[in-house]
Amino acid sequence: MIKTKVIGRVFRQDEIADQIYDMWIETELAQGARPGQFVCVYTKNAAALLPRPISICEVNEEKTMLRLVYRTVGTGTNEFAAYHAGTEISLLGPLGNGFPVEKAAGKRVFLIGGGIGIPPMLQLSKEIKKAGQAYCELSVLGYRNELFLNTDLEKYSQVYVATEDGSAGTKGTVLDAIKEKGLSGDVIFACGPMPMLRAVKEYAAANNMEAYISLEEHMACGVGACLGCVCKTKNVDAHSHVHNSRICTDGPVYNAEEVEI
Amino acid sequence: MNTKVTIAGVEFKNPVMTASGTFGSGMEYSDFVDLNKLGAVVTKGVANVPWPGNPTPRVAETYGGMLNAIGLQNPGIDVFIERDLSFLKNYDTKVIVNVCGKSVEDYIEVVEKLGDQDNVAMLEINVSCPNVKEGAIAFGQKADALMHITSEIKKKAKQPVIMKLSPNVTDITEMAKAAEAAGADAISLINTITGMKIDINRRKFALANKTGGLSGPAIKPVAVRMVYQAANAVKIPIIGMGGIASAEDALEFIMAGATAVSVGAMNFVNPYTTVETIEGIEAFMKKNQVEDINSLIGCVK
């Protein structure tokens, strides 16, 4: 089947925290989207060539809309932040492999999100709850200070919060929160900044837990052709037979044991 | 209306190809683009053994372009033949294999292994990647080194040889003439222009490799100029590339003297750029009553 770049339409957009935007887009891409996948979003600025890879935060019940929650960091995201309801938006996707939801079956599940890595946890949490197979589901969310998406996640799982400045929940990191609250689990799904993912990988290994982590890297094509977004892997990768896996197509979610971060 | 072009005896159904490194082996884009429509698929550079490439970040956006320092990550020729070349046998398009190496022997090993592959129409020798420190670029920046490697490869190659030239030289005509004199069947240009970007907030280079190759629309005027200069310096055919985003861009290269053109970075922006370029060239020819694309090659003197 020939895949296509599509034009979606912004349904609504709100700034939900400082520089954090929450955009619902009407698009047929919602139909096949799985938690942990991402879409490439293209700017209208001809001088800003490359697509911006943004993770899928949520899919509506009717599977007619995608929700993207992103932070403004530069030319592209600043442009997207100015879009209003009705604005056309160019998308490619859904790309990458999502989180292995089936690994939650019968397990005590930890969802760990840090900062702008929190958004993909929402659809994941929803689907784990819907599958109804997890023994219990906890979300641990780390922020600098201002909270976002925590009340959304509370609908599906028990939520614990950590903030760097201590303004809400545990003062410190997600791991500080896990320790303070005496939380434990069998399997981790995580997305967040690299220092957090490293700590999660170490924590999982020390506690004999499985961990699936979602990585990011600067991308150009998003479809596995340019070899821009690789990560170091323990084993030889299937594409280039070296130790560099393509995050866009082989990831972005990996078993933490398999990647060297 | 004829859109066929011929390079070193190889006939292409139209002059639009993919620039090496921007289209994988065709497999990655085959879900988006009907490869049968392309003049040729030019594959990602392949060496004698797998290369891991450079550390990340490997890509960065710049105004109207992008920098890359992938460092020619590739699976090596054996996997490439078994997997990628086999895949391309399913399509009615010409295959040009881009070959990279760190020594003359490395290149020769790949060229010899490709000699038995009957779906390889031509070889493109990458002596111009700015992101690999060992060898490679040295062959592309000194005329005598370029002549040496070209003549050594020509001795062993069973397919016609295209030498891909670097723009990071003082005089492109000197390099074009050196390739021609050493027996190259064609030249392709330009590879990327060495550039740099600094992240002022992190006070670091945007790329782990510090420098990278600039591509995209930002470099097109440089590329058109170099194709024009090379076309007026040599008789062998030229495949032109550098920031082609549309049929209008492609036609500039053709009128400057390119027999064929390649779409590179713009594949990342719009996966259909190749097909839209082909359709746009046909529309231009129809509108301007051009019977044969060959009449446009180098028509601007």
Tell me, what CATH number does A200's domain have?
Answer: 3.40.50.80
Residues linked to residue A210 through DSSP beta bridges, in sequence order: A187
Question: Is there a domain that residue B17 lies in?
Answer: yes
B28: nearest CB among A219, A225, A228: A225
Q: Which residues contact A21 (CB under 8 A, 6 or more apart)?
A: A13, A14, A15, A69, A70, A71, A72, A77, A80, A81
| CA–CA dist B146, B155 (Å, integer) | 14
CATH number for A61: 2.40.30.10
pLDDT tens digit sequence for B101-124: 999 999 999 999 999 999 999 999
Question: Is there a domain that residue A227 lies in?
Answer: no
Site from A44, A221, A229, A250 to mutate, B interface, most B CB atoms within 10 angstroms: A221
| CA–CA dist B284, B247 (Å, integer) | 8
Please indicate whether, in this complex, the C-beta atoms of B271 and A219 are within 8 angstroms of each other: no
Domain match, A67 and A121 both: no
Structural domain count, chain A? 2
- Give me the pLDDT at residue A1, please: 44
Q: Taking CB atoms and an 8 Å cutoff, what residues of chain A touch B268? A: 49-51, 220-222, 225-226
Instruction: Report residues of chain A scoring pLDDT below 70.
Output: 1-2
Q: Which residues contact B109 (CB under 8 A, 6 or more apart)?
A: B48, B77, B101
In this prediction the pTM is 0.94
Please indicate whether, in this complex, the C-beta atoms of A241 and B51 are within 8 angstroms of each other: no
Residues A118-136, buried b or exposed e (16+ Cβ, 10 A)?
bbbbbbbbbbbbeeeebee
- Which helix (H) or strand (E) segment holds residue B25: the answer is none
- Give me the pLDDT at residue B140, please: 84
Query: For chain B, what is the mean pLDDT?
Result: 95
**pLDDT band at B133, cuts 50/70/90?**
low
Query: Residue B146 in contact with residue B164, Cβ under 8 Å?
Result: no
SS (H, E, C) A33-79: CCCCCEEEEECCCCCCCCCEEEECCEECCCCCEEEEEEECCCHHHHH
- Give me the pLDDT at residue B9, please: 97
| CA–CA dist B119, B140 (Å, integer) | 27
CATH number for B169: 3.20.20.70
Structural domain count, chain B? 1
| CA–CA dist A234, A217 (Å, integer) | 18
Provide the ipTM: 0.93
| CA–CA dist B173, B234 (Å, integer) | 8
**pLDDT band at B228, cuts 50/70/90?**
very high
Report residue B290: phi and psi, to 5°.
Answer: -95, 115
Whether B273 shows a pLDDT value over 70: the answer reads: yes
Number of other CB atoms surrounding residue A175 within 10 Å: 18
Query: Residue A140 in contact with residue A163, Cβ under 8 Å?
Result: no
Q: Which amino acid is at B4?
A: K
- Give me the pLDDT at residue A49, please: 96
Question: Is there a domain that residue A192 lies in?
Answer: yes
Question: Is there a domain that residue A21 lies in?
Answer: yes
Whether B209 shows a pLDDT value over 70: the answer reads: yes
**Size of chain A in residues:** 261
Question: Is there a domain that residue B59 lies in?
Answer: no
Structural domain including B263 reads 5-54+71-194+215-296
Question: Is there a domain that residue A49 lies in?
Answer: yes
Whether B132 shows a pLDDT value over 80: the answer reads: no
Q: Work out the minimum CA distance from A49 to partner chain B, whole angstroms.
A: 6
Query: Residue B94 in contact with residue B140, Cβ under 8 Å?
Result: no
Q: Which tokens is A80 given?
A: 């997207």
Question: Is there a domain that residue A222 lies in?
Answer: no
Q: Which tokens is A25 given?
A: 């887009």
Question: Is there a domain that residue B42 lies in?
Answer: yes
Number of other CB atoms surrounding residue B64 within 10 Å: 18
Question: Is there a domain that residue A197 lies in?
Answer: yes
| CA–CA dist B230, B167 (Å, integer) | 11
| CA–CA dist B228, B224 (Å, integer) | 6
Domain match, A62 and A109 both: no
Q: Which tokens is B132 given?
A: 């690999």
Q: Taking CB atoms and an 8 Å cutoff, what residues of chain A touch B23? A: 225
Question: Is there a domain that residue A260 lies in?
Answer: no
Is B161 strand, coil or helix? strand
Angle of helix B220-231 relative to helix B172-181, nearest 10 degrees, comes to 50
- Give me the pLDDT at residue B128, please: 78
| CA–CA dist B263, B200 (Å, integer) | 31
pLDDT tens digit sequence for A46-82: 999 999 999 999 999 999 999 999 999 999 999 999 9
Q: Which of A55, A74, A95 is the last residue of a domain?
A: A95
Question: Which spans in B73-119 are helix H?
Answer: 77-79, 86-88, 104-114
Please indicate whether, in this complex, the C-beta atoms of A240 and B32 are within 8 angstroms of each other: no
Structural domain including A75 reads 6-95
Question: Is there a domain that residue A150 lies in?
Answer: yes
Query: Residue A13 in contact with residue A23, Cβ under 8 Å?
Result: yes
Domain match, A106 and A168 both: yes
Q: Which tokens is A228 given?
A: 């821009």
Query: Residue B172 in contact with residue B224, Cβ under 8 Å?
Result: no
A111: exposed, middle or buried (C-beta count within 10 Å: 0-12, 13-18, 19+)? buried
Pairing status of strand A136-143 against strand B161-164: unpaired
- Give me the pLDDT at residue B134, please: 59
B50: nearest CB among A75, A227, A241: A241
Is A187 strand, coil or helix? strand
Please indicate whether, in this complex, the C-beta atoms of B268 and A5 are within 8 angstroms of each other: no
Whether B290 shows a pLDDT value over 80: the answer reads: yes
Please indicate whether, in this complex, the C-beta atoms of B73 and A240 are within 8 angstroms of each other: yes
Please indicate whether, in this complex, the C-beta atoms of A50 and B56 are within 8 angstroms of each other: no
Q: Which of A40, A71, A95 is the last residue of a domain?
A: A95
Q: Which amino acid is at A197?
A: L
Q: Work out the minimum CA distance from A145 to partner chain B, whole angstroms.
A: 21
Q: Which of A54, A78, A95 is the last residue of a domain?
A: A95
Question: Is there a domain that residue B138 lies in?
Answer: yes
Residue with tokens 């990071």: B168
Domain match, A133 and A80 both: no
Catalytic residues of B: 129
Pairing status of strand A259-260 against strand B238-241: unpaired
- Give me the pLDDT at residue B136, please: 63
Q: Taking CB atoms and an 8 Å cutoff, what residues of chain B touch A226? A: 21-22, 24, 59, 68, 70, 268
Q: Which tokens is B186 given?
A: 């064609």
Residue with tokens 């700015």: B130
Query: Interior CA angle at B30 toward B25 and B33, to 5°?
Result: 120
